[in-house]
Amino acid sequence: MKIGLSSYSFRPMLTDGRLTLETLFDWLKEHGAEHLEIATFSFAGAGTDAGYDLSTDKAVLKRLEAAVARTGVPISGFCLGASFLEGEERRAQIDLVKRHVELCARFGAGFLRHDVVPWALRPNDAGEIEAAFSSIVDGCREVAEFGAQHGVVTSVEDHGFFMNGAERLLRLVHAVGHDNFKLTVDVGNFLCVDDNPYVATRRTLPQASFVHVKDFYTRRAEPGPGWLKTAGGEFIRGSVFGFGDLDTKALLESVVASGFDGFLSLEYEGAEPTLFGCEVGLNNIRRVLKEIEG
C-alpha cells in the first residue's frame, strides 16, 4: 500500500492561510507521505467552497503541477462533491464530474471519487432513496464509462447520510454494473448511518479502489457543540487516528487481510491542531501496519 493523506486533512490551515499549497507539499515530502489525494474544495478560499470548480482554476492547477514536479509527491486521485438527483442541474453536475476525470488524466492520477447527492442530505425514509436510485445509477454509469476512456477509475464513498452503509453501496455497485466503477471505502464514515464499521469495512473492501482511514470519538448522549449527529441519533467527532474510540488496528487488519494494495489516505478532521493530528495519525498508521505485517 501507498500511505498518504487527503488535502482535506489540512483544510483549516489552507483556508486561513497558515499553510499554502506549496508549503503543504513541503510538509508531505518532509514527513515521507507517498501521495496526496486532492479534495477539490480544499483549495477554495474561505467562504467560496460552495460551487468551487478546481478544473477551471488555472492558477491553482499550475501551482499544483509545479509542486508535484518540485517535491516528487504524486497526486493519487481527486475527490469532489456532486449530485446526480433529478433536476435542472443534473446534467451540469455530471459534466462537472467528467471534467475532473480529465483533470485526473492530466495529473496522471488514476482515481476519482465523486458524490452522488449533497453530503448533508438526510433521507426521510427508504422510499426517498428508492425514488432517487435509478437517477444515481445512470449518472454513475455514465461517469464510469467516461473514466474508462481516460484510464481513471471512478468511485463513490460511504460519505454523508444518503448513499452510505454497506448494503446501499454494494447495491449501487451491482446496479451500475461497470468494471470501472468501484468504492472508496472510508473505514470510519459508516458511523454516520450507524452501520458497524468493522463489518461494513470487511463487506465493502472487495469493491475498493481506494481506502480512507480516520478515527472518531463516539457518544450515545449529546456531548455539546462540535459533534455530528448520526442518522440514528448518536454523536461522533473526528479524532487523531489512534486516539479515538474506533479499534483502528482491527480496521487496518481488515484492509491488509483483504489484499488491498492501492492508495490509502489519512483523513484527519479532529479538533486537535492540524499538523499534530496529521503527523501523529500518519505515524500511527505506519506503526500499526508494521505490527500487523510483522
Q: For the segment 229-283, what is each residue's pLDDT rounded down to a tens digit?
A: 999 999 999 999 999 999 999 999 999 999 999 999 999 999 999 999 999 999 9
Question: What local confidence, expressed as pLDDT, does residue 294 receive?
Answer: 83
Q: For the segment 178-209, what is each residue's pLDDT rounded down to a tens digit?
A: 999 999 999 999 999 999 999 999 999 999 99
Phi first, then psi: give them for residue 265, nearest 5 degrees. Answer: -115, 135
Q: For the segment 88-118, what is each residue's pLDDT rounded down to a tens digit?
A: 999 999 999 999 999 999 999 999 999 999 9
Report residue 289's pLDDT band, with 50, 70 and 90 as the boundaries: very high
Question: Percent of the chain scored above 90 by pLDDT?
Answer: 97
Is residue 125's pLDDT more than 80? Answer: yes
CATH number at residue 240: 3.20.20.150
Q: How many domains does the chain have?
A: 1
Report the C-alpha gap between 266 and 277 in whole angstroms: 10
Report residue 47's pLDDT band, with 50, 70 and 90 as the boundaries: low
3-state secondary structure of 37: strand
Question: What local confidence, expressed as pLDDT, does residue 45 receive?
Answer: 75
- The alpha helices in 31-125, defined as continuous H runs, are 58-71, 90-107
Higher pLDDT, 51 or 203: 203
Question: What local confidence, expressed as pLDDT, does residue 51 receive?
Answer: 79
Residues 40 and 61 sit within 8 Å (Cβ to Cβ)? no
Residues 272 and 237 sit within 8 Å (Cβ to Cβ)? no
Beta carbons within 10 angstroms of residue 91's beta carbon = 11
Average pLDDT of the chain?
A: 97
Report residue 50's pLDDT band, with 50, 70 and 90 as the boundaries: low
Mean pLDDT of 67-92: 97
Question: What local confidence, expressed as pLDDT, does residue 263 receive?
Answer: 99
Q: Three cell numbers at 139?
A: 449518472
Q: Which domain holds residue 192?
A: 2-293
Question: What local confidence, expressed as pLDDT, does residue 98 receive?
Answer: 99
Q: Which of 270, 191, 186, 189 is nearest to 235 (CA)?
A: 191
